[in-house]
Amino acid sequence: MKPKKKMDKSEKDQKITEKMTFHDVITKFPETNRVFMKYEMFCAMGCPAAQQETIREGAQVHGVDVKELIKALNRAISVGAPKS
């Protein structure tokens, strides 16, 4: 049995990871829609591929830095949705 890799503090604090699908992220954290809009990733809002496409795959297709996107998504869920 392999020993578990120790996670650094930033990995422990992350709730959204690059392995999650767009569908999972948007379903669990609707406040992330605004982040996807900022990065012009409109397909996250209704593209059939978003059901199975991971954040990493989508970022690569759209030419977005995945680490930057993950940070922005996690920042959005830590702050919460804006009040309307």
Structure letter (DSSP) for residue 1: -
Provide the residue range defining the domain that includes 51.
28-77
**Domains of the chain: total:** 1
pLDDT the model gives residue 3 = 53
Q: Determine, yes or no, domain membership for 17.
A: no
Whether 72 shows a pLDDT value over 90: the answer reads yes
Q: Quick check: is 34 in a domain? A: yes
Give the pair of three-digit tokens for residue 71. 């940070």
Q: Which residue has the higher pLDDT, 10 or 73?
A: 73
Overall pTM > 0.85: no
pLDDT score at 84:
40
Task: Give the per-residue pLDDT at 49.
Answer: 80
31 pLDDT higher than 50? yes
